Amino acid sequence: QVQLVQSGAEVKKPGASVKVSCKASGYTFTSYDIIWVRQATGQGLEWMGWMNANSGNTGYAQKFQGRLTMTRSTSITTAYMELSGLRSEDTAVYYCARGLAAGVGFDPWGQGTLVSVSS
């Protein structure tokens, strides 16, 4: 079955970087986008950006420009999200999801990765 499995929880200090992985299986990895969304505790879903898994082209939300990098390894069907310059406000659960065609939505989602930023 189609699934995305993310790496485990991370604890980071302010100013550090975090890299979260998203391992895809059950479909042709390069035929779809991967998107990243985060959710702080008790808050809503926040769009971070998208990556075309074939070309590697990316599009980041303005808020994260300069701090966010999305990459992938097609050989191991894994996408990565790296966020630098971490601050306490970046504490959240980070989700990857498969991006279907425009308007068709995101399905499935990974299980989420908790990133905690604390001194």
Partner 1 sequence: SYELTQPPSVSVSPGQTASITCSGDKLGDKYACWYQQRPGQSPVLVIYQDTKRPSGIPERFSGSNSGNTATLTISGTQAMDEADYYCQAWDSSTGVFGTGTKVTVL
Give contact residues for partner 1 (rule: CB under 8 A). Answer: 35, 37, 44-47, 50, 59, 61-62, 95, 97, 100, 102-112
Inter-CA distances, 36 with 43, 90, 102, 113, 118, Å: 16, 14, 16, 11, 22
Residue 44: which residues within 8 A CB-CB, separation 6 or more?
A: none
Q: With respect to partner 1, which residue has the nearer C-beta, 16 or 40? A: 40
Instruction: Using the minimum distance from each CB to partner 1, give the nearer residue, 17 or 57.
Output: 57
State in angstroms the smallest separation of the CB of 64 from partner 1: 11
> Taking the complex as a whole, how short is the minimal distance between the CB of residue 24 and partner 1, in angstroms?
15
* CB-nearer residue toward partner 1: 82 or 108: 108
Q: Which is nearer to partner 1, 89 or 102 (CB)?
A: 102
Among all chains, which residue has been given the structure tokens 């499995």?
5
User: Measured from the CB of residue 112, what is the shortest distance to partner 1 in angstroms?
Assistant: 6
From 99, 94, 72, 98, select the one nearest 83 (Cα to Cα).
Answer: 94
Q: How far is the CB of 25 from partner 1 (least distance, A)?
A: 16
CB of 32 closer than 8 Å to CB of 100: yes
Short-list 68, 64, 62, CA closest to 81? 68
